[in-house]
Amino acid sequence: MTVDANIRDDGQQAIAEVQVVFRVHNQDKKNNRTLTVAIPGYPAPKPPPSQLSFATGGNPIPMTRGNQQWWVADIKLKPNQRRNLVLTYSASLGSAPFVRFSYPLELTAQVWPDRLNSARVTLTFTDPPNPQ
C-alpha cells in the first residue's frame, strides 16, 4: 500500500490531494475470490473528503459507506489475479496557522482482508514553506 499526499494552500485553507494504491492478490491458484475491503476515508470529525474516486484499471469500483470512517467495496479476483486499487480524494485540512494531515494506517491494517504486508506514506508540498 502506498499513500501519496500533496499538501497545498488554495489561498483560504490547506488542502491534501491524496492518492492511495492498494495492491491485492488472490493467492488461490484454482478458485475465484471476492474480497470485501474497507477503505479508510478521512477520519471523523473532519469534513468528509471531496472528489472521492476508487478504481482499478481506470474502471470505477462501487463503494458503500461503512460508517463515519470508511467505505466498503467488493473486489472480485480470478485465480492468482493481482490488481491495483486506486483511491483518490481531496481533504480540507483547515485554515489555522498549523494544520495536520493524518491517514488512518492503523484502521487500514485492522479492516484489511488478510495481512497488510507493507505501507509507504509520502508527503509533498507544492509551495515552499513560509519561514515566518
- Mean pLDDT confidence for 16-40: 89
Q: What does R_g of the chain's alpha carbons equal in angstroms?
A: 16
H or E stretch covering 74: strand 70-77
What pLDDT is recorded for position 35? 86
Q: What is the pLDDT of residue 125?
A: 86
| 12 in Cβ contact with 24 (< 8 Å) | no
For the stretch 57-112, pLDDT in tens is 999 999 887 665 677 888 999 999 999 999 898 888 888 878 888 877 776 776 67
62: its cell numbers: 462501487
Q: Is 80 exceeded by the pLDDT of residue 114?
A: no
Residue 111's SS3 state is helix
Q: Which comes out higher in pLDDT, residue 126 or 108?
A: 126
Digit-coded pLDDT (tens) for 40-67: 665 544 666 778 888 999 999 998 876 6
Measure the CA–CA gap between 80 and 61, rounded to whole angstroms: 20
Ordered by where they begin, the domains of the chain are 2-125 (2.60.40.3680)
Q: How confident is the model at residue 130 (pLDDT cuts 50, 70, 90)?
A: low
1 within 8 A of 20, measured Cβ to Cβ:
yes
Count of other CB atoms within 10 angstroms of residue 46: 14
Higher pLDDT pick, 126 / 13: 13
